[in-house]
Structure 1
């Protein structure tokens, strides 16, 4: 309860340091999204390190952290049999080769950032939210314009560093910004929901259209699928509420648990052969990778081949499987897939609580989570640090939007 005549916002504990870190993150997120997404990892790590002293006041979510800790420890154990395990002598030369060790560090630093910034006051969250919306609108405008100019702006900026870049490579770099937009679209839309009716609809529509236009012109299919399926999930939660979240708990858990079985069924039933004749080359290549990965999973279904084993199969799997669930099964076996399923199920369980309080918050978080799962199922390697960092930024963004939009409770 608050004293009579004193607003809840005025009486809450000030969190200037956390608010400053959140603003710092939201200023740099659109910049890195356009210039160099790989720096997301350093950004979240730095924020996590600077926020660590304040963790004593926080209430960390123990269950999802426990699931991720088991996953990371199992990845470390799998180095014993992984064909991609680096030699200990390489530890002094290049720590980037030790994916399992990096995962342990990322769990601590990224987790610190997410947990600590979750303790921001509403005042701090509102400021960070305004910066986030402005930054994402600016990012969407710049990459949309640059995609229409065939990455001319990006090439000029890149040449200013003294290096050259091919036009096709520059287009891929510009497309990278659409992944950040696909994840942060829903928290931005939630914050813009408090604007006037006309400005709200114009801003949300503009943000969505610029993201889709950029993705189309740069050939990035995954952000389009993420935005559309995230929108479907958002609409379902917004209109029907908790039943949709409960269904998603089962669906996303099943995605991680049954992924190799579904792929093997698709191959043996002739579905993949039918799809091969219809899909463009990039998707056709994905089907080949998924089919090969599913066959390899069968050989070591329980323990997996070991962390980073996706890299040892040559052209059959170029670096990773382009599917998070299959990569987890291939490298860490049933235990790795089960821990990932448990983690996302817990996140959705928390979203269920948000939905009970306010469907708008539940719909926002569901849209972002579905977008992350969809992109992870189609594009990046599951251990890419910048992609994991972007997921942490999306969690922080949803927390900012929920807190800054919420009345006193």
Structure 2
């Protein structure tokens, strides 16, 4: 390694990875507002671009991530095995003819594990200098997207509708509002690494700015009808404060809190139905939540038929109107499709993630608070809204991991 390749602090220059990270952060607000489903191809592209930045030494530094990646690999293998009994298994002959490949969820999971994993592993080896630039680009992008989200919420998606008219693709006002609401989901995840960067900057009034940014995202979610991001901001905020104030003891308590729903979700729902608690809730909750209660009750009943192995990957799509596309709850969908085996693997994955967060908390409460809040926010949204296997949602998970790594190194650069 030449002297020109080494920073003053002994860090290897990572200009290429820094450029890839900046590209990712520039594209994030654009896709967040205009085309959220584009996060899947974006993270795939970032993974491809980042592969040249992986070296033997950088892979050695990424060794702590091998455990969680191994769990995800086993989960993908189990999903592939479940195709042998899944009612939603694609026709092999049609796939050979180049058809139905888009419906081959298990194969897509394998490819995502490779490319998203490469993006996380490679960008995790960036120098502090590269990460600092990417971090500030992320912060500016998140701030702008939050501002636009609030404005468009107040204008009933008027800005978004005007943009669609300008490109010759008009959209109904109600659908436009739904599209705008999708921008709140990446914001609810990225607020925490952004808060870490602002906190590390150390300027007067930074806490007020953090509160304003979080408040803007919550307000945008409320105005656009996105309940899950609002819940994620509230629960993520409580987690952030808990770790900042109490440190490791609070972070440790998150492990059983997070693991328990993946283990006991079907039992809790069945108890809710049989005890009459769900009947009581049906009277109180709004229509969208009433619909979720019906889905969860039906799902819990179906889980009993194949509790260990599950019905197979994508089976949730085969129950007609009883489960429209997915269960609107990650734990219930995992139990339904991959059974106790799949639910246990995912529970172990998040337990491992939070175990690593405990280590971050020991080194820095600020870093631990960021990572814990981001994890809780992701799980809250996943527990209320999207299907487990949606490519863009899994891509947002990878993006959040990358963003936390960027923010951690940005914070370290200020010390």
Name the SS of the counterpart of 1:193 in structure 2. helix
Residue from 144, 155, 162 that aligns with 1:156 = 162
CA distance in 2, matches of 1:202, 1:238: 16
Match of 1:72 among 71, 76, 81: 76
CA offsets, 1:375-402, max 9 Å, x none?
Answer: 0000000000000000100000000011
Which consecutive unaligned segments of at least 5 residues does structure 1 have? 1-6
Runs of 4+ residues deviating >4 angstroms: 7-10
Quote how far apart the aligned CAs of 1:9 are. Answer: 5.0
Aligned to 1:29: 28
Q: 2:257, 2:320 → 1: CA distance?
A: 32
Which residue in 1 is equivalent to 2:185?
179
1:103 aligned residue (109, 116, 138): 109
| CA–CA distance in structure 2, aligned partners of residues 386 and 18 of structure 1 | 22
Q: Which residue of 2 aligns with 1:246?
A: 252
Distance 1:400 1:152 in 2: 34
Decide whether the 8 Å contact of 2:128 with 2:413 is kept in 1.
no
- The more displaced of 84-93 and 286-295 is 84-93
Using the TM superposition, give the Cα deviation of residue 90 of structure 1 relative to its aligned residue in structure 2, in angstroms: 2.7
Partner of 1:48: 47
TM-score by length of 2: 0.95
What residue ranges of structure 2 are gaps of 5+ in the alignment? 1-5
SS, match of residue 12 in structure 1? coil
SS at match of 2:192: helix
Tell me what 2:38 maps to. Answer: 39
Following TM superposition, by how much is the alpha carbon of 1:194 offset from its aligned partner in structure 2, in angstroms?
2.9
User: TM-score, with normalisation over the residues of structure 1?
Assistant: 0.96
Match of 1:132 in 2: 138
C-alpha distance in 2 between matches for 1:279 and 1:394: 31
1:351 aligned to which of 349, 353, 357 = 357
Would the alpha carbon gap of residues 163 and 65 (structure 1) be closer, same or farther in structure 2, given more than 3 Å must change? same
Q: 1:159 to 1:120 in 2, by over 3 A?
A: same
TM superposition shift of 1:159: 1.9
1-structure distance, mates of 2:194, 2:100: 38
2:85 equivalent in structure 1: 81
Question: In the alignment, is the contact (CA less than 8 A) between 1:322 and 1:378 conserved in 2?
Answer: yes
Deviations 1:106-156 (A, max 9, x none): 000000000110000000010000000000000001111111110011011
Q: Does 1:208 align with 2:214?
A: yes
The alpha-carbon deviation at position 10 of structure 1 amounts to 4.4
RMSD of Structure 2 on Structure 1 (CA): 1.6
| Count of matched residue positions in the alignment of Structure 1 and Structure 2 | 404
The whole-number CA distance in structure 1 between the counterparts of 2:265 and 2:304 is: 12
